[in-house]
Amino acid sequence: MKKIITYGTFDLLHYGHINLLKRAKALGDYLIVGVTSDLYDKERGKLNVQQSLSQRIDNVRETGLADEIIVEEFEGQKILDIQKYNIDLFAIGSDWKGKFDYLMEYCPVTYLERTRGISSTQLRMQEHEIISIGLIGNGRIARRFIKESKYISGVNVEGIYNPRAASAEKFAREQELAFYTDDLTELYDKVAAVYIAAPHQYHYDYIMQSLEAGKHVLCEKPLALTAQEAKNAYEKAAEKGLVLLECIKTAYCPAFEHLLILAKSGRIGNIKDVEASFTKLTYGNLRELQADQAGGSMNELSSYVLLPIVKLLGTDPVDLRFYSQMQNGVDMFTKGLFQFARATASFKVGLGVKTEGEMVISGTQGYIYVPAPWWKTQYFEMRFENTNETNKYFYKFEGDGLRYEILEFVKMVNGGNLTSTRLKPEESIAIAQMIETYHEKGPIVIE
């Protein structure tokens, strides 16, 4: 008797799951299905499993395809299960291709072609919907978006639009998407929402076209390059009753949210200054370094450092000053100095200059220190004059962090909430205004 084993969360069981189980079953005589436990799902970064373990086991059992169901509870259990049950073949979906090659030491591994294009009408449980997402653009971050989306239940990336059909076709084939197109209308016909990963200068036009087509929009930062464009976009989303969310992943990170709560709680007194830095060294003929592609450190990175400034000090600075080191028409490094009514702020962003990527929030009774990389908040300290009073906070930052913004987006769409408290429209507009002010006012150029 040939024994096959496969694993999965099997949340919101749909035809894709069922087809995978059918393919696995056809490979042998006896199919063992491992269903992940709630705790293990959390440990491996799956953030929003909607059904209980018992519900998910019942769903798998009712398919009639599993000869035996077991619970996967910890990392490394697969090896033990293969040995315990004398498994002849390990089978898993092709979207995990290569990840389980280490099991070949114990039994053959087969990656099964996954079902492409899961629509809400294919769901076994009709009270839940899977949000079908189409990508607009296939920049480097689009690959990370697809990878991160696998950790969020209730969403499926269906296809890709790119005005260059050959590029879209190659990307869709590599990422096993259901379709590709160079026609926006075709994309809109096949999905409920879009993720915009196109170059910055195209964000606004794609947002407005997508909202006009009745699609929810998740857009990479910066949402727009002017405050008026950002304002127009949010007004259009409200008019259409659609979700528009800007992808500044830090805003949706649980640790950052807790940090803001503590900072605003009065524990460090009145906040008098915020300092934040985000720099990385970038080389080559990349979009980030091209003036005609809206490149430069302000356009590329300032959304992150402006986020805590806006969240903690407000949207109306009294004065803004900028100092930049320029190269080929783009700022390779910029330092900003802000004055608010009762506080100050400063930031550093750079593509050609490297500095410590930390954040300090200074108050009249203490301060909060977040070490680099602060934008992937995992650990911070609340420090006081008396060092014995220092409090340390530890969190886990899952994956690339994109799953946090995807989760917020899914919750908003399913809950009918058009705005997020984690990044309010007025805050997003204020960030766009600050970036616009930089370009309009111009920096003091340093050598």
- The edge-to-edge listing of strands for the beta sheet with 109-112 is 68-72, 30-36, 3-8, 89-93, 109-112
Residue 123 confidence (pLDDT) above 70: no
**Domain count for the chain:** 3
pLDDT in tens, 400-429: 999 999 999 999 999 899 999 999 999 999
Would you say 85 and 32 are in contact if contact means Cβ atoms under 8 Å apart?
A: yes
User: Are both 129 and 234 inside the same structural domain?
Assistant: yes
Residues 376 and 433 in one domain: yes
Are residues 52 and 107 located together in one domain of the fold?
A: yes
Instruction: Note whether 223 and 167 are same-domain residues.
Output: yes
Q: For position 125, what pLDDT does the model report?
A: 39
In this structure, what are the phi and psi dihedrals at residue 347, rounded to the nearest 5 degrees?
-150, 160
- Domain end marker among 48, 77, 112: 112
Same domain, 230 and 278: no
Quick: pLDDT tens for 35-48. 999 888 888 888 88
Q: How wide is the angle at C-alpha 153 spanned by C-alphas 151 and 154, nearest 5°?
A: 140
What does the mean pLDDT of the chain come to? 93
Burial of 78 (0-12, 13-18, 19+ CB in 10 A): buried
Name the band, by pLDDT with cuts 50, 70 and 90, for residue 447: confident
Helices (H), 154-246: 165-175, 184-190, 203-212, 227-240
149 and 85 within one domain: no
CATH classification of the domain holding 79:
3.40.50.620
Same domain, 10 and 75: yes
Number of Cβ within a 10 Å radius of residue 80: 11
Q: How far apart are CA 354 and CA 333, in angstroms?
A: 9
Both 293 and 436 in a single domain? yes
Taking a C-beta distance cutoff of 8 angstroms, is the pair 134, 216 a contact?
no
Contact status, residue 408 vs residue 198, Cβ threshold 8 Å: no
- Do residues 142 and 242 share a domain? yes
User: In the beta sheet, which residues pair with residue 327?
Assistant: 330
Full residue range of the structural domain in which residue 261 is found: 251-446
| Token pair 């009639």 in the structure block, residue | 64
Same structural domain for residues 314 and 418? yes
DSSP secondary structure letters along 97-108: TTTTGGGGGTS-
127 and 227 both lie in a single domain: yes
How much is the pLDDT for 111? 95
User: In this prediction, what percent of the chain has a pLDDT beyond 70?
Assistant: 97
In the DSSP assignment, the letter for residue 423 is S
